[in-house]
Amino acid sequence: MADKRRFDLFADLLTRTFPDVQRAFDIAGGMGKLNSALTARGLDVLTFDKRWKHDDVQYAQRLFTLDEPCACDVVVGMHPDGATRIIVEYAAKHRVPFAIVPCCSDNGMPYKPWMRHLAELGGTLGLDVEEVALPMQGRARVLVGRPRP
Ligand SMILES: C[S@@+](CC[C@H](N)C(=O)[O-])C[C@H]1O[C@@H](n2cnc3c(N)ncnc32)[C@H](O)[C@@H]1O
């Protein structure tokens, strides 16, 4: 069972890590709980996911792809499943920072190798990637990437 505090914990980390960003893309946002937490902290957030039922937040009801026009200063994802790799690639393509809390891989890779793979992917694509942790149970490791100058 995922920790219910994860959205507030991640939102706090994001506002600390990226104090100057205003617009965020929240990828695979499910019901929109991370959106609400970030909006409450003053960000302009658009969530991408395919759910019909979701909270009353700015919501693009579709799967996120690399073709999505970039209208964000940061791209983020909490347990974004099949969208995880796309977030890293999108950040590299548009040279915006990203932060993700990965859970499952998109190809059955175990968790630790999957984390290494994502960090290496970011590095290969021109991003400096670091790992931090949220103080919670479950999948709590965060990968933060910034375009290399
Ligand atoms: C494990 S759920 C996490 C939902 C939410 N972030 C949370 O922490 O409760 C994974 C979500 O990823 C979404 N998803 C997977 N691939 C996606 C994509 N390419 N674009 C948008 N959403 C995607 C699924 O629809 C699902 O809602």
Residue 111: CATH number of its domain: 3.40.50.150
Nearest-CA residue for ligand 1 atom 23 is: 28
pLDDT of residue 2 exceeding 90: no
Tell me what pLDDT residue 119 has: 98
* CA distances from residue 28 to 34, 36, 63, 128, 143 in whole angstroms, order as listed: 10, 14, 8, 23, 16
Mean pLDDT, residues 24-39? 98
> Is there a domain that residue 138 lies in?
yes
Mean pLDDT, residues 36-52? 98
- Residue 95 CA, ligand 1 centroid: distance in Å: 23
- Residue 49 CA, ligand 1 centroid: distance in Å: 6
Q: Which residues line ligand 1 (CB under 6 A)?
A: 27-30, 48-50, 63-64, 78-83, 86
Buried b (16+ CB within 10 A) or exposed e, 47-72: bbbeeeebeebebbeeebeeebeeeb
Which structural domain range is residue 123 located in? 6-147
Tracing tokens 């990968």 back to the chain, one arrives at 143
Our count of domains for the chain comes to 1
pTM here is: 0.97
Tell me what pLDDT residue 1 has: 63
Provide, rounded to the nearest whole percent, the portion of the chain with pLDDT above 70: 99
